Amino acid sequence: MAVAQDATHPASGFVGSETCATCHEDVAKKLGDNPHSRIEAMHGKAGASCESCHGPGKAHVDGGGDVTKIINPAKANPKQISETCLTCHAGAHPNFQQSNHAKAGVSCVSCHSVHAAKVEKSLLKAQQPDLCFTCHADQKASFNQLFHHKTQEGLIKCSDCHDSHGTFEDKQLRTTADKNAVCTKCHTETRGPFVFEHVPVKAEGCMACHTPHGSQNARLLNVPNVNQLCNQCHSAVAAGTVHGQGAGSSDQPPCIGCHNFIHGSNINPAFIR
């Protein structure tokens, strides 16, 4: 389905966007400020235009508007749609075909609209996170919990952490050399490097302790009590020692009362101030 326009050669079957506008005047007017139309104008009408997506229009015109002789992306299958868009956008989104979205049958037009975009930037059908929530309703529930990242409040966007067009990371997280960088680009105080590293932070990552979207627990912790969280790794050390903390240590003073710098420290290997 991929189309490469050559409007300078009538024999190729292209008729040009001006011909399309004679019947589709209402659509042509809406495309006046569209990025695709601006690209077409920049390249002497040899850039992106109607026929870049819909294919050569000569047979469609000669057939008096026969809809069977023109490509309608809205009725094409997701793979065909994506192949058409990627003829131009492959450089920006080289991993889309192996993304979770592509594998699930989500195509470019599931999120983007060339003709009727609600958000000019990226021609999105809706603002984030509402656009993402049309499919990811379970994540919307997470963001409605008492403690959550301020996504619905507009402070951050889904795309700040995820790349909807695909990465080599799980859950389409933005690819970085440091897998924690998705979090530490905002939470800079936890970034390090530190003289004394807390090994789980580097080995397992932030989500070993935190739930990223929303949680019923303060600090987005995976468990209600910080002592319970620490004892998942340190129970054998804590039991029967000066700490006096066994498996049921929620009634004890919190570990972070003494071990202040649990993400890492430049002062003390026990992360004490």
What type of residue sits at position 252? Q
Given a contact cutoff of 8 angstroms between Cβ atoms, the answer to whether 117 and 88 are in contact is no
What's the rounded Cα separation, in Å, for the pair 71 and 267? Answer: 66
Q: Provide the pLDDT for residue 7.
A: 44
| Longest Cα separation, the chain | 89
What's the rounded Cα separation, in Å, for the pair 62 and 81? Answer: 25
Question: Does the pLDDT at position 8 exceed 50?
Answer: no
Based on DSSP, count helices (H) and strands (E) in the chain, helices before strands: 14, 4
DSSP strand pairing (214-215 vs 147-148): antiparallel
Least confident segment among 21-25, 42-46, 177-181: 42-46
DSSP letter at 254? P
What type of residue sits at position 127? Q
**What's this model's pTM, rounded to 2 decimal places?**
0.83
What's the rounded Cα separation, in Å, for the pair 77 and 175? Answer: 29
What's the rounded Cα separation, in Å, for the pair 245 and 233? Answer: 13
CA angle at 108 for the pair 103 and 111, rounded to the nearest 5°? 105
Residue with the two structure tokens 């739930």: 211
Given a contact cutoff of 8 angstroms between Cβ atoms, the answer to whether 71 and 53 are in contact is yes
Tokens of 143: 């963001």
Q: Provide the pLDDT for residue 222.
A: 94
Closest CA to 140 of 213, 211, 218: 213
Per residue, the 3-state secondary structure of 18-53, as one string, reads HHHHHHCHHHHHHHHHCHHHHHHHHCCCCCCCHHHH
Query: Mind listing the pLDDT tens digit for each residue in 192-240?
Result: 899 999 998 988 899 999 999 999 999 999 998 888 888 888 776 555 6
Give the DSSP H or E segment for 196.
strand 196-197
Mapping DSSP to helix (H, G, I), strand (E, B) and coil, where does residue 157 land?
coil
Mean pLDDT of 18-31: 88
What's the rounded Cα separation, in Å, for the pair 58 and 63? Answer: 8
For residue 221, count other CB atoms closer than 10 A to its CB: 17
164 Cα distance to chain centroid: 4
Question: Does the pLDDT at position 184 exceed 50?
Answer: yes
Please provide the distance, in angstroms rounded to a whole number, between the alpha carbons at the two ends of the chain: 63
Tokens of 149: 């990242």
Could you tell me the pLDDT band of residue 151, with boundaries at 50, 70 and 90? very high
